[in-house]
């Protein structure tokens, strides 16, 4: 747009005698503006990519018009220049997705000459980027938004035709008003302010439109992804085949490859067994329990004034390890570090069955796929922590199968009340109150004698969890102790109790 606005007056003032000179001058101004905008906005990958690519293209135009191979080399050269100027950018997903978008557009449009009309070409470009980038986004980030295409159709025209031009014009009028003083320019600040208000209104309008779009789509259908890397690579190859100028029956076959992104991960838990995944949510608690056909979420992680970790931490674990659904959510108690993500999951999996301190039937339970679940709650105690709704999970014949206990935030007082209802020698224990010194009494630790205890705590937390005295007590019992603060997410399965999978150990 800026190129077109500059090109016409340059031709009118006499530069038309040399046919290419107006375009080169306008292009140089646009390149300078793009590079300045990149510097002004913090040298982000998309803006710097535009500035570098325009600069390289301008240099090539001084000698010859780039061919199809020239455009590909132009993209590669731009990547190399950007990487050399800002080496750390290569470690950001935005760098690869930004250049990936341009590569997808070149891959689709260069073999097709003549080019499509401008309006239909702009509409088609969004479809091309959606098809080409969705598998790549799922591979790099983990999930890709299905509403990206309609969202772009709503936002891009407003941003292109209203927001960005108004921002530039507002800044220009504001700058002229600061430099030149006098009666003729006294209205410039008011004009600049009015134009910038139009830009602000356009941004608010985009937010309203995108919010309305998201409200039309069920939360569980907004995105796809969290599939295996092999499925993502297969989908990327299928998308590239789909964008090639090939016969329609080949495209139909390639569409089948894109369906790999919609596959649901199978938890692969044998009947009569269960798997536990303790999510690393910092100073809080959240764990998934999977049986052969059911999923239970025990606590929903911490919450903050700005939101919770449910969307960023717990949901990816849930979607990447089993079915995209929950059969039940159990809250040990209602403190923010355990119930911070409850509102998110209520909205996301509506309707979501719940158990909690207010409806925790003591010593009662249910069976899923041959696994017994029993809720236990200490009665007659005053604090919310001691009234935690705890959960006992057992397999096989009592005393012979595997046992796990989720203890909430109970203190030594509640432990004493619950001990008669707890079996000796459990296999898995989520440490009471994150390993607090007021919990895990000697009698409790000696009675349960867990094979594995998990501390769900934040790194360098201000409470000092787990307390050194508690760590020593479990050490005396020969218990394996694992902390999410140092090991990240943790997986333990009843059919392979010796195989404790630690996320950060696997990452190394």
Cis geometry, peptide bond prior to residue 351 (ω within 30 degrees of 0): yes
Is the pLDDT reported for residue 168 higher than 60?
A: yes
Strands 390-395 and 371-376, how do they pair?
Answer: antiparallel
- Quote the pLDDT of residue 367: 96
Which of 106-120, 408-422, 490-504 has the least mean pLDDT?
A: 106-120
Contact 411, 388 (CB under 8 A): no
Would you list the DSSP string of 112-172?
S-SPPPHHHHHHHHHHHHHHHHHHHHHHHTSEEETTHHHHHHHHHHHIIIIIHHHHHHHHH
Helices 118-140 & 229-243 angle (0-180, nearest 10): 160
Q: How far apart are the first and last CA of the chain?
A: 49
CA angle 77, 80, 82 (to 5 degrees): 110
The torsion angles phi and psi of 465, rounded to 5 degrees, stand at -80, 135
Q: Are 261 and 235 in contact (CB under 8 A)?
A: yes
* Residue 109: count of CB within 10 angstroms of its CB: 18
Count of other CB atoms within 10 angstroms of residue 310: 25
- Res. 102 pLDDT band, cuts 50 70 90: confident
Beta strands in 160-236 (DSSP E): 223-225
Is the pTM of the predicted complex or chain greater than 0.75?
yes
pLDDT digits (tens, 9 = 90+) for 133-149: 999 898 888 888 889 99
Instruction: Give me the mean pLDDT over the 156-160 stretch.
Output: 90
β-bridge mates for residue 364, sequence order:
375
Identify the DSSP state of 263.
Answer: P
- Sequence spans of domains, the chain: 2-212, 275-507
Average pLDDT over residues 185-210: 89
CATH number of 275-507, picked from 3.40.30.10, 3.40.80.10, 3.40.50.620, 3.60.15.10: 3.60.15.10
Going by their DSSP bridges, the two strands 307-308 and 286-290 should be labelled as unpaired
141: DSSP letter: T
Mean pLDDT in residue range 301-324? 90
């Amino acid at each position: 747009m800026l190129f077109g606005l500059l090109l016409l007056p340059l031709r009118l003032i006499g530069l038309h005698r040399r046919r290419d000179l107006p375009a080169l001058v306008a292009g140089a101004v646009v390149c300078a503006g793009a590079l300045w905008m990149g510097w002004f906005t913090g040298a982000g990958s998309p803006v710097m990519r535009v500035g570098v690519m325009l600069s390289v293209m301008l240099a090539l135009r001084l000698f010859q018009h780039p061919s199809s191979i020239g455009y590909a080399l132009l993209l590669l050269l731009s990547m190399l220049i950007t990487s050399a100027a800002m080496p750390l950018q290569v470690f950001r997903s935005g760098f690869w997705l930004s250049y990936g978008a341009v590569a997808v557009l070149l891959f689709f449009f260069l073999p097709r000459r003549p080019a499509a009309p401008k309006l239909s070409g702009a509409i088609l470009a969004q479809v091309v980027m959606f098809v080409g980038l969705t598998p790549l986004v799922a591979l790099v980030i983990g999930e890709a938004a299905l509403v990206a295409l309609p969202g772009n159709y709503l936002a891009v025209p407003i941003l292109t035709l209203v927001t960005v031009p108004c921002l530039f014009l507002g800044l220009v009028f504001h700058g002229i008003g600061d430099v030149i003083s006098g009666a003729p320019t006294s209205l410039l600040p008011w004009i600049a302010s009015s134009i910038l208000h139009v830009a602000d209104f356009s941004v608010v309008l985009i937010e309203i439109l995108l919010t309305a779009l998201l409200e039309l789509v069920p939360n569980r259908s907004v995105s796809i992804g969290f599939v295996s890397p092999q499925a993502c690579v297969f989908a990327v190859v299928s998308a590239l085949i789909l964008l090639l100028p090939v016969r329609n029956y080949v495209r139909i076959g390639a569409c089948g490859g894109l369906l790999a992104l919609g596959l649901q991960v199978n938890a692969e838990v044998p009947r009569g067994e269960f798997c536990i995944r303790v999510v690393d949510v910092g100073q809080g608690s959240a764990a998934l329990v999977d049986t052969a056909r059911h999923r239970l979420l025990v606590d929903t992680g911490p919450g903050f004034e700005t939101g919770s970790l449910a969307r960023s931490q717990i949901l990816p674990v849930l979607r990447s390890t089993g079915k995209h659904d929950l059969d039940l959510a159990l809250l040990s108690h209602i403190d923010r570090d355990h119930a911070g993500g409850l509102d998110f999951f209520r909205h996301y999996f509506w309707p979501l069955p719940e158990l909690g301190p207010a409806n925790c039937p003591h010593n009662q339970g249910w069976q899923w796929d041959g696994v017994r679940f029993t809720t236990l709650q200490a009665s007659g105690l005053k604090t919310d922590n001691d009234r935690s709704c705890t959960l006992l999970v057992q397999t096989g014949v009592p005393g012979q199968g595997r046992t796990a206990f989720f203890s909430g935030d109970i203190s030594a007082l509640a432990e004493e009340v619950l001990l008669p209802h707890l079996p000796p020698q459990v296999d898995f224990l989520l440490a009471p109150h994150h390993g607090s010194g007021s919990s895990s009494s000697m009698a409790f630790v000696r009675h349960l004698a867990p094979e594995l205890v998990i501390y769900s705590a934040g790194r360098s937390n201000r409470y000092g969890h787990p307390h050194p005295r508690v760590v020593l007590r479990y050490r005396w019992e020969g218990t394996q102790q694992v902390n999410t603060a140092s090991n990240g997410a943790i997986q333990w399965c009843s059919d392979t109790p010796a195989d404790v999978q630690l996320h950060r150990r696997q990452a190394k």
